Structure 1
Amino acid sequence: MQLSLLFLSSLAAASPLTALDKRQQATLCERYGYWSGNGYEVNNNNWGKDSATSGQQCTYVDSSSGSGVAWHTTWKWEGGQNNVKSYANCNRQVPKGRTIASISSLQTSISWSYSNTNIRANVAYDLFTAADPNHATSSGDYELMIWLARLGGVYPIGSSQGHVNVAGRDWELWVGMNGAMRVYSFVASSPINDFSADVKQFFNHLESSQNFPSNSQHLLIFQAGTEPFTGGETTFTVRNYSANIA
Structure 2
Amino acid sequence: MQLSLLFLSSLVAASPLTSVEKRQAATLCEQYGYWSGNGYEVNNNNWGRDAATGGSQCTYVDNSSGSGVSWHATWQWSGGEDNVKSYPYGGKQVARGQKISAISTMETSVSWSYSDTNIRANVAYDVFTAADPDHVNSSGDHELMIWLGRFGNVYPIGSSTGTVNVAGRTWELFVGYNGAMKVYSYVAASPINSYSANVKEFFNHMESAQGFPASEQHLIVFQMGTEPFTGGETTFTVDNFSANIS
Normalising by the smaller structure, the TM-score range is: over 0.9
For residue 149 of structure 1, report the CA deviation from its aligned partner.
Answer: 0.5
Corresponding residue for residue 93 of structure 1: 93
Unpaired runs of at least 5, structure 1: 13-22
Instruction: Say whether residues 1:11 and 2:25 are aligned partners.
Output: no
**Under a length normalisation based on structure 1, what TM-score does the superposition of the two structures give?**
0.94
Q: Is 1:204 matched with 2:207?
A: no
Structure 2 partner of 1:148: 148
User: 1:229 is matched by which residue type in structure 2?
Assistant: F
- 1:107 matched to which residue of 2? 107
> Which residue identity lines up with residue 67 of structure 2 in the other structure?
S
- Give the equivalent residue in structure 1 for 2:219: 219
Q: 1:153: how far off?
A: 1.1
Indicate whether 1:234 and 2:243 are aligned: no
Identity percentage of aligned residues: 74
| Deviation at residue 9 of structure 1 after TM alignment | 2.2
What is the rounded CA distance, in whole Å, between the counterparts of 1:138 and 1:11 in structure 2? Answer: 21
Q: What is the distance in 1 between the residues matched to 2:92 and 2:32?
A: 17
The AA in structure 1 aligned to 2:189 is S
Question: Which digits, 9 at most, give the CA deviation of each residue in 1:40-62, with x for residues without a partner?
Answer: 00000000000000000000000
Partner of 1:35: 35
Task: Report the TM-score when normalising by structure 2.
Answer: 0.94
Which residue number in structure 2 is paired with residue 117 of structure 1?
117
Instruction: Report Cα offsets for 1:195-241 as digits up to 9, x if no partner.
Output: 00000000000000001000010000000000000000000000000
For residues 86-110 of structure 1, the C-alpha deviation after alignment (integer angstroms, 9 at most, x for no partner) is 0000010011100000100000000
TM superposition shift of 1:24 = 6.4
The aligned amino acid for 2:187 is: V
Does the 8 Å contact 2:56/2:76 carry over to 1? yes
What is the one-letter code of the residue matched to 1:92? Answer: K
Query: Mapping of 1:115-194 within 5 angstroms?
Result: 115-194=115-194
Alignment partner, residue 18 of structure 1: none
What count of residue pairs does the alignment treat as equivalent? Answer: 236
Structure 1 residue matching 2:112: 3-state secondary structure:
strand
Displacement, 1:148? 0.2
Matched, 1:26 2:26: yes
1:6: Cα distance to partner?
Answer: 1.5
Q: Contact between 2:24 and 2:64, CA under 8 Å: does it hold in 1?
A: no
* 1:107/1:197 contact within 8 Å kept: yes
CA distance in 1, matches of 2:138, 2:108: 21
- Gap runs ≥5 in structure 2: 13-22
Q: 2:17 corresponds to which residue?
A: none
